[in-house]
Structure 1
Amino acid sequence: MKIDEAYLLAQLKALLAIDSPTGYTDQVVHYCSAELERLGLTPELTRRGAIRAVRQGSRRKGARAIVAHLDTLGAQVKLVKENGRLELVPIGHWSARFAEGGRVTLYSEIGSFRGTVLPLKASGHTFNDEVDTLPVGWPHVELRIDAITQSKAETRALGIDVGDFVAFDPNPEFLDNGFINSRHLDDKAGVAIALAAIEALEREGVKMPVDVHFLFTIAEEVGVGAAAIVTPEIASMVTIDNGSTAPGQNSAEFGVTIAMADQAGPFDYHLTKKLVDLCREEEIPFQKDVFRYYRSDSASAIEAGHDVRTALIAFGIDASHGYERIHAHALTSVATLAASYAASPLEIARDVKEVSGPEGFPHQPTEEADQPEFDPDKIAGVE
């Protein structure tokens, strides 16, 4: 299947333009629901706004799920300070180092305000070297609102209060060489990938062996993720999210990164192997990685008690949860794999049942691997 890269990138641009810190996701839910309807699917929303859109296959049970999350990092007002500025706490796990200097929109009960997040000592003309020695952390930054206020009372009179949401401008830049720089590529890029996979399946009229549930969650950044949206007929779930390309990792900004494990433990052996085999069959460039300080929608589903096979396919991202960078090659690669997975044959037939006997239960290889015949003359140091 050919992924429409122009469509994928257009969706990413549209999604990045919509603020959606965890807890303030209604607008992006409406947008995504409308796009799913335009593609021909019927979205169903949970009470809080997580989305399920089922593309029907030949059978209902043993269904597959492909999941991405709509929510992003952000902040909330912790305290209205005596000087009229605002102390913040983060939404999700990210460093205040990447919040400093950020332009933001604050959403209050009566309307939105613009502002800037600054270190407590922001003026070099006033604090000199103290600007550089100020510690990094959320207690050491504050939000300066672009409104006339110099006191707590004046800020409160504007309608601003504790708990108001703060969304950071993504500042996206799409370069001609395929690189994309922006905040919130985690996981707006994953959502765009899922939509592009749906578009390809619909455009090609692909028939699938089982139903595929496309899931869009709204609280992954705070650990809730897919905990409450997985239905009993789902047997396997593939998460689309970012893979860190930092030193010590095997992820890349090109091709697909297939995660073998994260901090919640190994992903399902058979589902992961299926994705690797699909990459080889479809000639999709890929690499494997293990993440030590990372969890995804898959982890939240397992921890919630859902007995589903889980896997994670990732687009390599540099500076995750900071000023992020990805490449279009990874986005189209992951979308190709997601669409190929949705259309691929069902290998483990017994997975259509939640519980059954041992017949048909798969095996993991245990045989000794073939090795070259031992030749002592080839050992280093032997003449």
Structure 2
Amino acid sequence: MEVGDMSQDCRRLDIDIDYLSGQLAAMLAIASPTGYTDSIVRYVCAQLDRLGLSYELTRRGAIRARLPGHARAGARAVVSHVDTLGAQVATLGPDGRLGLVPIGHWSARFAEGARATIFSRKGAYRGTILPPMASGHTFGDDVDTAPIGWRHVRLRVDALAEDRSQLERLGIEIGDIVAIDPQPEFLENGFIVSRHLDNKAGVASMLAAIRAMVAGPRPPVDVYWLFTIAEEVGHGAAAILLPDIAAMVAVDNGTTAPGQNSAEFGVTVAMADETGPFDYHLTRKMVELCDANDIRYQKDVFRYYRSDSASAIEAGADVRTALVTFGVDASHGYERIHMHALRSLAELLTAYGLSEVDIPRDEKVMAGLKGFTHQPSDPADQMLGPGTKRPETAEPDPG
């Protein structure tokens, strides 16, 4: 099959929306800031057990599940992350309040007023993140002019903690992980508002796609489903790839904001992030699959964004990468998405998993020129002239 021939790729499978929504709700209820992901890893593994997929875990808990195909070499991978934003205790204040540093990149503007859980050696405590001047009755209009930043918020612990010694008696220490409540709302019109939709919504879409595929036809090559545990701090998929994996599609959020082309409906196909363009051929394949399967889509470029694939590429993995996203309004804040995007994304993943292999040469880590890809307006094509055979097809490949 030639690249761009999509006649055999109208293959999207039906997605169980209730299952997708239920998985998202269940995962949002599990605290999983980067560095505190054991519980969410165990949950995802339990779902894979129910779906009948075999899997293995890295030492720290990244998951690699395998859906067998007709061939192993040239396998595909789909990846998303189970970790979320959060915070850590940075200081124990003399007033019994905790200073914080963020886990991942998010603004303290969205931390003010958040309910949270502190995980200490002696157990979990609840609390609220507040600015030092939190009472208008005390500080008047100064509460509206206070500076914003992580140096200007404190975590009030819901326990007897009026000074540092009492915090220490509770077992709270510098470095303790703080999980932020998601406060999810699933609206009847399909909108979902919550923290941590990045990227539990992506994980839910993957589980829904797996559920559809295990009951469907066998894919042409193995499809690996990867769930990483430290994407929010830049680690991503670097440690979980296999040599058999030739292409990897990351699933994450797209930012719907002024100056961006993402949307809360359909799939947003990322053409590039801050690490550079995604693979030309794999990205075009995702777009053509949307066309062939009547899946709404739009393209976007993310200048201040990286996903699971970035760390793998930076670590030297020779794998084609693409990024498909669900549009999120107010990413890394009080996020909002729509179920239409999650369903569309899951449908696209099933179509991708079942699509024919476009570049058979990719099953080898190294190979000769025969079967190597072409791009439009390649200078070599222009130099050859019309009707001239390409050198790699005119003679047998010596490799």
TM-score (norm 2): 0.91
- Per-residue deviation, 1:15: 0.4
Q: Write the mapping of 1:10-89 to structure 2, written as runs, cut at 5 A.
A: 10-89=22-101
Is 2:296 aligned against 1:282?
Answer: no
What corresponds to 1:175 in structure 2?
Answer: 187
Amino acid at match of 1:55: L
- What is the rounded CA distance, in whole Å, between the counterparts of 1:268 and 1:185 in structure 2? 26
- Per-residue deviation, 1:31: 0.3
Query: What's the secondary structure of 1:60's corresponding residue?
Result: strand
Is 2:307 aligned against 1:296?
Answer: yes
Could you say what the CA RMSD is over the residues aligned between the two structures, in angstroms? 0.9
What corresponds to 2:105 in structure 1?
Answer: 93
Runs of 4+ in 1 over 4 A off after TM superposition: none
Q: Which runs of 5+ in 1 are unaligned?
A: 369-383
- Per-residue deviation, 1:298: 1.0
Query: What's the secondary structure of 1:104's corresponding residue?
Result: strand
What corresponds to 2:119 in structure 1?
Answer: 107
Q: Write the mapping of 1:216-231 to structure 2, written as runs, cut at 5 A.
A: 216-231=227-242
- Per-residue deviation, 1:126: 1.0
Question: Among residues 308, 315, 334, which one is paired with 1:323 in the alignment?
Answer: 334
- What is the rounded CA distance, in whole Å, between the counterparts of 2:240 and 2:378 in structure 1? 39
What corresponds to 2:283 in structure 1?
Answer: 272
Query: What's the secondary structure of 1:251's corresponding residue?
Result: coil
- What is the rounded CA distance, in whole Å, between the counterparts of 1:123 and 1:315 in structure 2? 38
What corresponds to 2:226 in structure 1?
Answer: 215
Q: Write the mapping of 1:113-192 to structure 2, written as runs, cut at 5 A.
A: 113-192=125-204
Query: What's the secondary structure of 1:113's corresponding residue?
Result: strand
- What is the rounded CA distance, in whole Å, between the counterparts of 1:260 and 1:149 in structure 2? 50
Question: Among residues 216, 230, 246, which one is paired with 1:235 in the alignment?
Answer: 246
What corresponds to 2:215 in structure 1?
Answer: 203
Query: What's the secondary structure of 1:115's corresponding residue?
Result: strand
Question: Among residues 311, 317, 324, which one is paired with 1:306 in the alignment?
Answer: 317
- Per-residue deviation, 1:367: 7.7
- What is the rounded CA distance, in whole Å, between the counterparts of 1:256 and 1:111 in structure 2? 41
Amino acid at match of 1:60: R
Amino acid at match of 1:196: A
- What is the rounded CA distance, in whole Å, between the counterparts of 1:245 and 1:16 in structure 2? 21
Query: What's the secondary structure of 1:271's corresponding residue?
Result: helix
- Per-residue deviation, 1:203: 2.2
- What is the rounded CA distance, in whole Å, between the counterparts of 1:104 and 1:269 in structure 2? 42
What corresponds to 1:376 in structure 2?
Answer: none
- What is the rounded CA distance, in whole Å, between the counterparts of 2:140 and 2:64 in structure 1? 54
Aligned residue pairs, count: 367
Query: What's the secondary structure of 1:211's corresponding residue?
Result: strand
What corresponds to 1:378 in structure 2?
Answer: none
Query: What's the secondary structure of 1:292's corresponding residue?
Result: coil
- Per-residue deviation, 1:159: 0.5
- Per-residue deviation, 1:199: 0.2
| Percent of aligned pairs with the same amino acid | 65
- What is the rounded CA distance, in whole Å, between the counterparts of 2:256 and 2:153 in structure 1? 28
Cα displacement string for residues 267-305 of structure 1 (whole angstroms, at most 9, x for unaligned residues):
000000001010000000000000000000011110111
Q: Which runs of 5+ in 2 are unaligned?
A: 1-12, 380-399
TM-score (norm 1): 0.95
Query: What's the secondary structure of 1:93's corresponding residue?
Result: coil
What corresponds to 1:246 in structure 2?
Answer: 257
Query: What's the secondary structure of 1:298's corresponding residue?
Result: helix
- What is the rounded CA distance, in whole Å, between the counterparts of 2:330 and 2:42 in structure 1? 29
